Amino acid sequence: MNVLPQTELLAHLDDTSLVIVDCRFQLGKPDAGREAYEASHITGAIYLDLEKDLSAPLDPDGYGGRHPLPDAAQLTGTLSRVGISNDSVVVAYDDQGGAMASRLWWLLKYLGHEKVYVLDEGFAAWVNAGRPVSAEIRTPEPAQFLATVQHNRLIEMDEVLEKLEEDGVKLIDSRDGARYRGEVEPIDKKAGHIPGAMNLFWGESRTADGTWKSQDEHVARFEQAGLAKDDEIIVYCGSGVTATPNVMALEEAGYTRVRLYAGSWSDWISYGENPIATGNEE
């Protein structure tokens, strides 16, 4: 289980091993998430910023994408500073359907931490249910987090390029259909997708009411897309953030060879010689 029901979190709010992390963030409004946290958050939660804490600084030459993967040592220091240890049970939440919280989930898994969950439905549902919130900014007691980096969870651009024609390799573009087809591109400098990629929008990991789909529903979704359990699956999006809910869903559906292209589309197009496709794949 990667997604935690709200009732489960409510029942364990007093657990000393629990660390709740507010991951709210709005693209184009970099201070909005922290301001929302300071106004009101789940009682006891600390805040981690997508761009300041969960990404590295932008590369001056434009490589690495819009949200480059943070250095493992730097991220380990950040986690330790906010009180996350190897014994912590981490629950991340946002109000963007789990997209930002899933970034923290993936980073912790990448560093070898298994006890991490995304809160189902997010902050708005927590508030609407009358569950405890606070504006108090908690100063966490530092802890020690030691990473065991899981390199098999990550793939870099050069290897993606090598695998484009390889049998048994499936690419998943997690962006919405219009961006995948290259019909619109509101963020990045070039439109389209990596040749051969299929389009599986990350939001389809949730039901119409915003709750996380069941394991059986995830299985049906990916089987319908033609994914086999022994496929090597590469998942990307615009900058490596909204791809992570698809990674979570794939793992819940029993796929074990899933890798994130963290730089994603914004990194891919920074190499002018890389091929670009538009429209739907046959």
Sheet containing 89-93: order of strands:
3-4, 116-119, 89-93, 18-22, 46-47
Structure-token pair, residue 56: 């590295």
Task: Yes or no: say if 264 and 234 are a contact pair by the CB < 8 Å rule.
Answer: no
What is the rounded distance in angstroms from the CA atom of residue 280 to the CA atom of residue 196?
10
State the Cα angle at 69 between 188 and 142, rounded to 5°: 135
**DSSP letters for 55-93:** SPPPPTTSTT-SSPPPPHHHHHHHHHHTT--TT-EEEEE
Read off the DSSP letter of residue 206.
B
The residues annotated with a catalytic role in the active site are: 237
What is the rounded distance in angstroms from the CA atom of residue 114 to the CA atom of residue 107?
11
